[in-house]
């Protein structure tokens, strides 16, 4: 299992577009990927669960990936979040 | 029957400008959706013309995977026009479309049958309607 802590720094947090982008990227990996905010957890391959976390900008999230490609999956998702989902400021 | 290849087509039919605006919102979130189309129906349109528009759009979107027709209101004109095509096409109709349904529609597993996709969309749409305060108080 790979576990990463990452802070959302984009302008709108985990909103519709960023959740969709995260889901689409997560689905490209075989690993099971979980995003946790405090006690709440979401399957990163399910946009509705990501939206239900109601993540605001500045929130710290925990990424957990389990599976053969867990390293690549966690790194790719962390990169997407770190890039602010490509959103303009 | 070619623009969508072997992927399921998605046709949104709704009153007034709603269908196009829902498609606009979908593409704002997910990016371009070349296998999705929107049709606006209103009472200024003759029924025969409306039905011809729907049939034409279904034909354009048709592939071996079929077409999901998403309408705004069961029993409304858009839904009734869609229902009139049900017996002659490889289509499924889901009435009561909302944005969660649309987003889910473009990310569904293409290996599912058309019927299974329609049933999943119905359930997904229902399950993504919340009274927000219930959600945050843990009642969801």
When CB atoms are compared, the residue of A17, A24, A48 closest to B128 is A48
Q: Check pLDDT > 80 for residue B80.
A: yes
pLDDT of B134 reads 82
Decide if B107 and A24 are in contact by the 8 Å CB cutoff: yes
| Secondary structure percentages of chain A, helix, strand, coil, to 5 | 40, 25, 35
Decide if B100 and A20 are in contact by the 8 Å CB cutoff: no
For residues B4 and B21, what is the distance between their CA atoms, to the nearest angstrom?
21
Could you tell me the strand order of the sheet in which A40-43 lies?
A: A2-7, A60-66, A32-37, A40-43
pLDDT of A87 reads 83
Q: What's the mean pLDDT when you consider all of chain A?
A: 94
As a dihedral over the C-alpha atoms of residue B48, residue B53, residue B54, residue B55, rounded to 10 degrees, the angle is 80
For residues A76 and A10, what is the distance between their CA atoms, to the nearest angstrom?
17
pLDDT of B1 reads 43
Closest Cα to residue B106, out of B17, B19, B24, B31? B31
Please report which confidence band the pLDDT of residue A40 belongs to, taking 50, 70 and 90 as the band edges: very high
As for the ipTM of the complex, it is 0.78
Q: Going by C-beta distance under 8 Å and a sequence separation of 6 or more, which residues neighbour residue B133?
A: none
Q: What's the whole-number mean pLDDT along residues B4-22?
A: 90
Q: In this prediction, what percent of chain A has a pLDDT beyond 70? A: 99
Domains along chain A?
A: 2-86 (3.30.1340.10)
Distance to chain A for B74, nearest Cα, Å: 24
Decide if B103 and A52 are in contact by the 8 Å CB cutoff: no
Decide if B28 and A17 are in contact by the 8 Å CB cutoff: yes
For residues B40 and B54, what is the distance between their CA atoms, to the nearest angstrom?
10
| Cα distances (angstroms) measured from residue B78 to each of A66, B12, B86 | 45, 9, 13
Q: Check pLDDT > 90 for residue B42.
A: no
pLDDT of B4 reads 44
Q: In this prediction, what percent of chain B has a pLDDT beyond 70? A: 94
A66-88 exposure pattern, b = at least 16 Cβ within 10 A, e = fewer:
eeeebebbbebbbebbeebbeee
When CB atoms are compared, the residue of A16, A48, A54 closest to B29 is A16
Q: What's the whole-number mean pLDDT along residues A68-74?
A: 97
Please report which confidence band the pLDDT of residue A33 belongs to, taking 50, 70 and 90 as the band edges: very high
**Binding-site residues on chain A for chain B (CB distance < 8 A):** 16-17, 20, 23-24, 27, 47-48, 52, 54
pLDDT, tens digit, 9 for 90 and up, residues A73-86: 999 999 999 999 98
pLDDT of B17 reads 95
Domains along chain B?
A: 9-136 (3.40.50.510)
């Amino acid at each position: 299992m790979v576990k990463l802590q990452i802070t959302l720094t984009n302008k709108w947090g985990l909103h519709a577009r960023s959740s969709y982008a995260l889901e689409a990227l997560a689905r490209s990996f075989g690993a099971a990927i979980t995003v946790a905010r405090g006690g709440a957890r979401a399957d990163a391959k399910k946009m509705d669960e990501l939206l239900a976390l109601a993540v605001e900008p500045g929130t710290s999230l925990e990424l957990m990936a389990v599976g053969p490609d867990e390293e690549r999956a966690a790194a790719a998702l962390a990169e997407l979040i770190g890039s602010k989902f490509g959103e303009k400021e | 029957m070619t623009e969508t290849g072997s992927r399921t087509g998605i046709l949104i039919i709704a009153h007034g400008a709603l269908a196009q605006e829902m498609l606009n919102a979908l593409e704002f979130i997910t990016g371009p959706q070349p296998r999705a189309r929107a049709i606006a129906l209103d009472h200024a349109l003759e029924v025969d013309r409306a039905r011809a528009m729907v049939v034409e759009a279904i034909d354009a979107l048709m592939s071996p995977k079929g077409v999901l027709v998403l309408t705004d209101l069961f029993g409304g004109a858009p839904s009734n026009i869609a229902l009139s095509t049900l017996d002659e096409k490889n289509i499924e109709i889901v009435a009561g479309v909302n944005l969660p349904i649309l987003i889910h529609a473009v990310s569904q597993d293409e290996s599912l049958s058309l019927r299974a996709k329609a049933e999943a969309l119905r359930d997904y749409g229902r399950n993504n309607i919340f009274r927000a305060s219930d959600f945050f108080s843990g009642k969801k």
